[in-house]
Every structure is written in structure tokens, then in C-alpha cells.
Structure 1
């Protein structure tokens, strides 16, 4: 059973309640549509309705001006539409469960890390699968679960407790166990890891007490915890991504070679470099609306 952070048990505000009910109503209203059309419709709504209402375009512009000040206005405008669209698609996919898993399981594989994961699974060696808000971060977990790997999810609870409860249920339908960031969730996650499990972690959050590590040419507060855990438990630290294909509904799962063990700062810098290379290649698939560089 998933470990649910205390945040999900708190009483939601009226704003949180409205946001949660709107998301539920939208997903319910579009459910009769065929899967591909449904995901594309929600992507269009994210790009043209939800993104502007939620103020995402202003945050996307601010981030792009900070790290890419010379980017042409046409490209900035394009990203202001496409980034919220990808985010809306991702949420819709996660909430569809079985239909999304069908696409995830059919993903093509790229990168050179798959044989290493297979060996770790066979030998019972712990693995930290490090990913980011690029494409759909749960596509890789869905694919690896379908291949028989013992993969858990480690997630950061959302600030909306009403939606968080719904979200935890959705990611649990993709696969269990899932553990919430926090004392209780961390305890269960470490027990799972020590037994030779694989744990998926999304590591491109801004972390207030993180170290300043370069990302996209600018210092960004970044948690060193994934690298620290890899060193402490002799776990492989493997960058893994679910990259959205041009059709908008299928994926490529990229599994890279493990980051060599050295020290947490160096290993975390390597993780940021891995993600940066993909962000520059797939600019419209990364969550540019996130305040990644604040208070640096």
C-alpha cells in the first residue's frame, strides 16, 4: 500500500477543492473520447486555456529570459503554449491508468543502460532511477514494471491535499509501492531500496536547502540526496526518462549508463548535465513553469 504524506490528510481550502473538482470534472467529461483524441484534446486545453488561466506563461517567459535571453520571440511564444500542453497531457495520462500503461509498455528503448539494469535486477543490487519533469516521468516506470523490474515510486506530495489524494491513487494504479517524501515515506523507501529494489525519483525540483549546482548555465538549488543515497547503499544511480514522441501519445524510454560513484556534488552535477542535454533537445517537454532558479 502507498505511504501517504500527512499533507493529503489535511483539510483542503475552498480554492484547493475547486481546483480538484475542476480537474475531476474535465477528466470525466472527456472520458468517452477515444484515448488518443482525449489526450490531444486535454493537451490543447492545457496549451490554450489552463496554461494562461494558471499564469504559467509568465513564469515560462521569466525562466527562458533568465537562462536563454537570446531566444527568438516566436520560440518563446511556442514554448508558452506547448509546455502547459505537455503538462496537461501528462496528468491526463497518469489518471487514465490502464490505457496509459498500454502506451508505456509499448515504448521503444534508447540509451545504453538497459543491460545494466537487467544485471542489477538479477543480482539484487539497489538502483535509484533518477528522472525529471520531462515528457511523462511515469512512462519509464510503467515500462520497467511491465518488464518485471521491482520498481517503486518516490514522490513529492502536491500542495493541494484534495488533488494529492487523487494523484496518489492514480500513480498507485500504475504500480506500487509508492512512497511520499517525508519521514515515514523515506523510512519505507529505504527499507525497499536496501532489499535490492529500484526506486524512481524526480529530482529537478527547486530545493530550498539544496546545494547550488549548475543547470542550464545557471546555479540552481538542487538536492544531493539521490547521490548521497547511492553512495550510502552502494546503489546504481541511473538517469531514466520517458520522452514523448511527435505523435503526442507514445514514448521512448531512455536509460543511460549509471553515474560513476565519486562525491555527491560531482554526481549531482552529472545528473543535471544529463537532464540539460535532453531539455535542450526537447525544449517543449520540460516543465519551464517551475520556479527552478528562485532565490539563488
Structure 2
């Protein structure tokens, strides 16, 4: 049965189809920066993303210079637009990824673990291009799987899944069935790629940028239970706006799930502070912060 969706879903799908069709006719080196420009100057203001970015910056980086803030209101959605078109251009990205180096303190250990068939969990965030790493592992013959959250618009979701599936490897949907697949994948000595920076109402209250952020402990819990190595990994966009470096940080020391997950939050925070334009500041990462801050101000008086 073909999923027709609501009227709103169909309109969004038509807009996406036109957007991808027009940009898809352009060479990749023009397509990516143009997508960034469109999202930064047209989409972001219309959808109110600049206000959300500004609110999040106020919350965790209140001392940010005004000029830097204005820059981020443009550069954050620009990176988002580039990421968006890259995800829908998997074949073009393969050439970019083929020339993307693995760097960082954990790169050698990660490659050794993959060669030995050890279970590995690599954790990133909505930062840079988080699919560059998965694509690179596939091109090197690695057994990698990713976890995704189904999109609300089922029409767009089908197209999105088709695009990210073209990268190769396995994909598991968030939920009970997907979790079971992840476990089998790890038990078979595979590599799981996960993102950790979305608000999880059933997660644990940890710290991110010094503020409470509810975070899932699943990466740390699985690493402990299935004796998987745990690495923070980032696809960092380079100054040319098209190429990447894959930075693999040192393995997270084995301790307990909460401590290990906080280490992942701290790692991502350091990367975002170093490259704030490459993180998705449109996320509601600190849900409930207004009430919390208000209460704190009243108490302070």
C-alpha cells in the first residue's frame, strides 16, 4: 500500500522533490554551497530557526561576542543546508569520502579493532556530517551499522531512507526491533554508529555545556554488556566547505554507563566549542530550561 500522507505531508514532499530536483541538476561543487545559502538566508528565517539558535546560544554561551553570534545565525543553518544536500547525494559523497583521512588519538586503535573483528561503538552528534564516518567504514570494507529515528513525514522518510541506505552497511530503526538488531550486530563483532545529542525524556540528567541535558545511556550500557570498545568520532567539515577530516578520539575508559556517557557529552561539547557553526543548534537539547532557569533566578533573590 502506498503511503499518501496528510495534505501537509504531501506539500512538504513536493517542496523537497522540487528542491532536490533543481539542485540535483547542478555540479556537486555548486550544489552544496547553494543549498547552504538557501537554508541560511531563506529557510532558516521562515521556519524560525534563527530564534531557536539564538535561544540556545543565550542558554549555554551567554558571553559569546555579538559579532560571533551574528555569524553563527548564518553559518549554523548554512552547515545544515550543506549536510542536507550531502545526505541526499550519497553517490557524490563517495568521492569525497574516499579522500577523507582518519586522524586523532584513537584512529589506530579503532582500525586495529575493526581488523580484529572486535565489537565497536562509535558515537557522534549532529555535527559536521555524521554520515561521513559510516560511508568511510563501508568503503574500507568494515561491517558498520547505523541507528536512525523515523521521520514524522512518511513520504519524506521513504526518500530519506533510500538515500542513506545507498551509503551501504546496515540500518536499524530506533525501537525494540531495531535494538534487537543492534545487539546481534555487536555480538557478531560489528561496528555501531550512534548519535548522542538529542533530548531523551527517559534518559539520565547529565551535563552538556554545564547545563542539565537528558541523555540516553544506551551506548555506555551496550559497551559494557557486550564488551565493545567505545570511541567518540566526528566528521569535521574543512574550510573549503566540501571536504572532511574524520577525527577519532581516544577510547572512552571502561567504568560505568553514566560516567562513560558523560565523557561522550564532554567530548562532543569540546568539538562544538571548537567548531560551533557545525553543530545543529536548532535542536531542543535542553528541554524545560526556561522553567529551570526561572526557578533558579527566584531562588537566587
- 1:82 maps to which of 70, 75, 91: 75
Question: Does the 8 Å CA contact 1:106/1:143 hold for their aligned counterparts?
Answer: no
1:84-119 C-alpha deviation (Å, 9 max, x unpaired): 111111110111111111112211222021221222
Structure 2: tracts of 5 or more residues without a match: 290-301
Indicate the RMSD between aligned Cα atoms, in angstroms.
1.3
- 1:191 maps to which of 169, 175, 184: 184
Give the CA deviation at 1:172. 0.3
The reply to whether residue 249 of structure 1 matches residue 239 of structure 2 is no
Corresponding position of 1:71: 64
- Gap change, CA 1:10 and 1:263, over 3 Å in 2: farther
Question: Does the 8 Å CA contact 2:4/2:10 hold for their aligned counterparts?
Answer: no
Question: Does the 8 Å CA contact 2:37/2:78 hold for their aligned counterparts?
Answer: yes
1:182-233 C-alpha deviation (Å, 9 max, x unpaired): 1111111211111000011111111011111111111101111110010110
- Equivalent residues in 2 for 1:1-296 (5 A)? 12-295=5-288
Question: Does the 8 Å CA contact 1:210/1:221 hold for their aligned counterparts?
Answer: yes
Secondary structure of residue in 2 paired with 1:174: coil
Give the CA deviation at 1:138. 0.3
Corresponding residue pairs, total: 288
Give the CA deviation at 1:11. 5.5
- Gap change, CA 1:10 and 1:183, over 3 Å in 2: farther
Larger Rg belongs to = 2
Secondary structure of residue in 1 paired with 2:200: coil
TM-score when normalising by structure 2: 0.92
1:55-101 C-alpha deviation (Å, 9 max, x unpaired): 11111011000001121222222111111111111110111111111
The one of the two structures with greater contact order (alpha-carbon pairs below 8 A, sep at least 6) is 1
Secondary structure of residue in 2 paired with 1:140: helix
Give the CA deviation at 1:10. 6.6
- Gap change, CA 1:11 and 1:267, over 3 Å in 2: farther
1:153-189 C-alpha deviation (Å, 9 max, x unpaired): 1112222222111111111001121111111111112
Instruction: Output the CA distance in 2 between the equivalents of 1:228 and 1:176.
Output: 23
Give the CA deviation at 1:256. 1.1
1:26-55 C-alpha deviation (Å, 9 max, x unpaired): 111121211111101001001101111111
